[in-house]
Amino acid sequence: MSVYAVNKLCRDAMRDPAFREALRRDPAAAITPLELTKDERSALLCGDVARLYEWGCHPFLLAYLPRWELFGLTIPLYSERIRKARDARDE
Amino acid sequence: MAEIVAAFGVPHVPNFPAQVAREGPQSKVARLYAEVAGHLDAVSPDALLVFDSDHLNTFFFDNMPTFLVGVTDSIEGPNDQTPMPHYRVGGHAQLAAHVRASGLARGFDLSLSQDFSVDHSIMVPLHFLTPRMQIPIVPMFINGLCPPLPGARRCYALGEMVRAAVKEWPRNLRVAVLASGSFSLEIGGPKVPHDSIAGTPDQEWTRRVQHLLAHAQINELLEEATAARMQRAGNIGGELLNWIAMLGVIGERKPRFIEPEVEHGRCYGAWRWD
């Protein structure tokens, strides 16, 4: 698992307007050069933030994605999905 | 000789500057911040030692310090697109270097940065407390957001070390301490409310921490503020460690002013003994 690459993608999306625009225009193409696993690539493209969270991606960084509606994530959709994630803190 | 003259604790929500600009000086956040600023002005410190948790802006997973002292004479921010003015504040590099050396001599392996910017978690408090940026700061970063976090007792001991270091500083200098952070806050994690990416899941913990602060029940606070307890209060709950380090600097004192915003998971406080 290269959770690091997902975390970095989120931060780059916040900091780099050109990368953000590329993610918006063609998400699959924009993440092609990144060192992501097959599962991470697929979870990102589906906007499956619950799985990304469960794998250890930092929630503060994942929450950048709906700010610009990347990977189809609106704030209500992000909220709905992340609320269903397994929360290791409650176990 | 240098002395610790006061301590303060505030939250640092990125929206505060825009919110207060919109709602005016009578809004609650503006009034609470003005109260703390009044105490700070009254003691008129020469330097402000700030305990803060960076939000993956100054540091990232490629290089993540648990404790770090910023040793520089100039600091800019915010570096995270927070809607607020951009500032440059002086750093008290000599005091910072002394605190770091003193920590290393006492068993605190403090990391170092001499070139860094800071995010809203330092610039929002300074925007309200020292808007002229006239007081040089010594930033001390504690990892409060990326578990595993340092323990509460270790952070308290860090504060005690800082107190000893400041006392040893062989020049006249009035030093105040600032803690930045919330007690209950979840951003982007499973505890957020419907239709939002942020929430305050643990009002009870906020009430409890405020009570322990108000009565200077430090030992109880250190006992109760476990990693699991802080995480239950939200994935930003580790910011309490900054307050705990600040308490380590001043010891078991009661605040002159303390007011919570329980529904928002946060508190404002001022400790003075003049």
Q: Choose the closest CB to B232 out of A15, A60, A89.
A: A89
> What per-residue confidence (pLDDT) applies to A2?
78
Contact between B61 and A7 using a beta-carbon 8 Å cutoff: yes
pLDDT tens for each residue of B229-262: 999 999 999 999 999 999 999 999 999 999 999 9
Task: Say if residues A68 and B197 touch (Cβ distance below 8 Å).
Answer: no
ipTM: 0.96
**Distance (Å) from the alpha carbon of A43 to chain B's nearest alpha carbon:** 16
Rounded CA separation B59/B123 (Å): 16
Q: What is the pTM of this model?
A: 0.98
Q: Does the pLDDT at position B97 exceed 60?
A: yes
Residue B80, chain A, CB below 8 Å: the answer is: yes
The sign of the torsion formed by the CA atoms of B168, B143, B68, B126 equals negative
Q: pLDDT exceeding 90 applies to what percent of chain B? A: 100
Average pLDDT estimate for A24-46? 97
Q: Choose the closest CB to B197 out of A50, A79, A84.
A: A79
| Best residue in B197, B232, B239 for a mutation probing chain A (most A CBs within 10 Å) | B197
Average pLDDT estimate for B194-201? 96
Average pLDDT estimate for B185-207? 97
Q: Does the pLDDT at position B38 exceed 90?
A: yes
HEC string of chain B equals CEEEEEEEEECCCCCHHHHHHHHCCCCHHHHHHHHHHHHHHHHCCCEEEEEECCCCCCCECCECCCEEEECCCEEEECCCCCCCCCEEEEECHHHHHHHHHHHHHCCCCCEEECCCECCHHHHHHHHHHCCCCCCCEEEEEECCCCCCCCCHHHHHHHHHHHHHHHHHCCCCEEEEEEEECCCCCEECCCCCCCCCCEECCCHHHHHHHHHHHHCCCHHHHHHHCCHHHHHHCCCCHHHHHHHHHHHHHHCCCCCCEEEEEHHHCEEEEEEECC
Contact between B146 and A58 using a beta-carbon 8 Å cutoff: yes
Q: Does the pLDDT at position A24 exceed 80?
A: yes
Residue B195, chain A, CB below 8 Å: the answer is: yes
pLDDT tens for each residue of A37-88: 999 999 999 999 999 999 999 999 999 999 999 999 999 999 999 999 998 8
Q: Which domain holds residue A34?
A: 3-90
Q: Choose the closest CB to A82 out of B146, B190, B231.
A: B190
Contact between A60 and B196 using a beta-carbon 8 Å cutoff: no
CATH number of B2-272: 3.40.830.10
Interface A:B, Cβ pairs < 8 A? 71
Q: Choose the closest CB to B187 out of A59, A84, A89.
A: A59
Q: Does the pLDDT at position B193 exceed 80?
A: yes
Average pLDDT of chain B to the nearest whole number: 97
> What per-residue confidence (pLDDT) applies to A88?
84
> What per-residue confidence (pLDDT) applies to A91?
76
When pLDDT is cut at 50, 70 and 90, the band that residue A89 belongs to is confident
When pLDDT is cut at 50, 70 and 90, the band that residue B1 belongs to is confident
pLDDT tens for each residue of B150-163: 999 999 999 999 99
Reference B79, options A59, A4, A68, A11; nearest CA is: A11
| Best residue in A1, A3, A15, A79 for a mutation probing chain B (most B CBs within 10 Å) | A79
Shortest CA distance from A67: residue in chain B: B197
CATH number at residue A45: 1.10.700
Task: Residue A83: list chain B partners with CB under 8 A.
Answer: 190, 192, 194
Work out how many domains chain A is built from and give that number: 1
Contact between A63 and B188 using a beta-carbon 8 Å cutoff: yes
Q: Does the pLDDT at position A1 exceed 60?
A: no
Shortest CA distance from B146: residue in chain A: A58
Task: Say if residues B150 and B248 touch (Cβ distance below 8 Å).
Answer: no
> What per-residue confidence (pLDDT) applies to B104?
98
- A 4-43 residues with CB < 8 A to B: 4, 7-8, 11, 14-15
Q: Return the DSSP state at A84.
A: T
Q: Choose the closest CB to A60 out of B145, B193, B232.
A: B145
> Which residue has 């990347």 as its token pair?
A70
Contact between A60 and B60 using a beta-carbon 8 Å cutoff: no
